[in-house]
Structure 1
């Protein structure tokens, strides 16, 4: 018997192809019919691996969560350094797949990789001495920050024409060079993310320095 001309259909191949389609054209482009065509199979064959399109989307979203490095929570890095390194890895995964971010922002649901991610952050904070209630809040705050950074770009949202800026009544004279931000979007966004992340972690470090009992009283009050 000769070899099949196409690789056998599998969950991994379906997810990889679906993610590529979403990356290229956005979530609206993903349909079971389009996905089957990209895979060169009939639509019903997808349902041998996933019951619904929503299950496919969940698997696609979770594949992005699985790209986030969690090794920093398994070595001797202190909690602040671990959170910093994790946030960078998390942002890299999200910025590589921006169309998936709105679905990720809804929460981990029952997605295995997303739950492992949440558990790793929470466990590291509790092991470092954060009370469980505050560890949950810190983990959520970090997630809000990274998600927010991945959802948009200040630099990329500025008009790229000096004439437009100069004639915009909402602009101020100090924004006369704002059009240059778009040309340097990556470096501007990277620096802004690092500055915000450092400020957030500095604030958490100050809070962590307060005795645990006092932190709990402040939280409950």
Structure 2
């Protein structure tokens, strides 16, 4: 009986295995030796597809960014709707792989998907009437906000033990132990409120750039 053949080694298989390893154990767990072991191949086999570990990391990062939907912003019509859709999709992609966020936060470098996202977002804002200098700042704001929110959970940063919050020392944290059980509502609610505040703030500061037909009214 013929022995079963090992799956062929490919860039896609290397990247998906590297991402799964990072998701499970963090960035520090990724090494070419460990990755080769996970794939069931010898270390040098990886170099037929990637020259260095950094190239593997770049490919992993680009795989994550390729999931981000920038299509609404690319249309260049309603920049408010475009920013909201982009930021939500961006956060969803990063939140699904939080361990890769510190690497992604360094910027796109030479990564094609990262550069494509940056080009599309910037082009969408300029196409909607934003001066290039302001469009650059807006795109930077979104990246800072999204990366920070995807890096970790605010709610899960508090332990669920009431005794950790001595009222004599922390008189305002009497309910902090309950945050973890409401993690999704707290974290996603904070992101949504912050995102709307960011976009509404841009409209207030630059009313001359409000999308045509916009019915935005500041909340007084």
Please indicate, yes or no, whether the TM-score normalized by the shorter chain is above 0.5. Answer: yes
Is 1:84 aligned with 2:84? yes
Q: Kindly state the Cα deviation for residue 161 of structure 1 after the two structures are TM-superposed.
A: 1.1
| Aligned-pair Cα RMSD in Å | 1.8
Partner of 1:218: none
Is 1:182 aligned with 2:147? no
CA distance in 1, matches of 2:185, 2:65: 24
Residues 168 and 107 (structure 1 numbering): CA distance in 2 closer, same or farther, change over 3 Å? farther
Q: Provide TM-score, normalisation by structure 2.
A: 0.90
Partner of 1:207: 205
Partner of 1:192: 190
Correspondence list, 1:20-99, <5 A: 20-75=20-75, 78-99=78-99
Partner of 2:165: 165
CA distance in 1, matches of 2:106, 2:94: 14
Partner of 1:216: none
Runs of 4+ in 1 over 2 A off after TM superposition: 73-77
Query: Which has the larger share of helix?
Result: 1
Q: Kindly state the Cα deviation for residue 136 of structure 1 after the two structures are TM-superposed.
A: 0.5
Partner of 1:130: 130
Question: 1:17–1:38: 8 Å Cα contact kept in structure 2?
Answer: yes
**Structure 2, unaligned stretches of length 5 or more?**
211-220
Q: Kindly state the Cα deviation for residue 106 of structure 1 after the two structures are TM-superposed.
A: 0.4
Question: 2:14–2:39: 8 Å Cα contact kept in structure 1?
Answer: yes
Question: 1:159–1:165: 8 Å Cα contact kept in structure 2?
Answer: no
CA offsets per residue over residues 106-155 of structure 1, 9 Å max, x none?
01100000001101110000000000111011100111111111123221
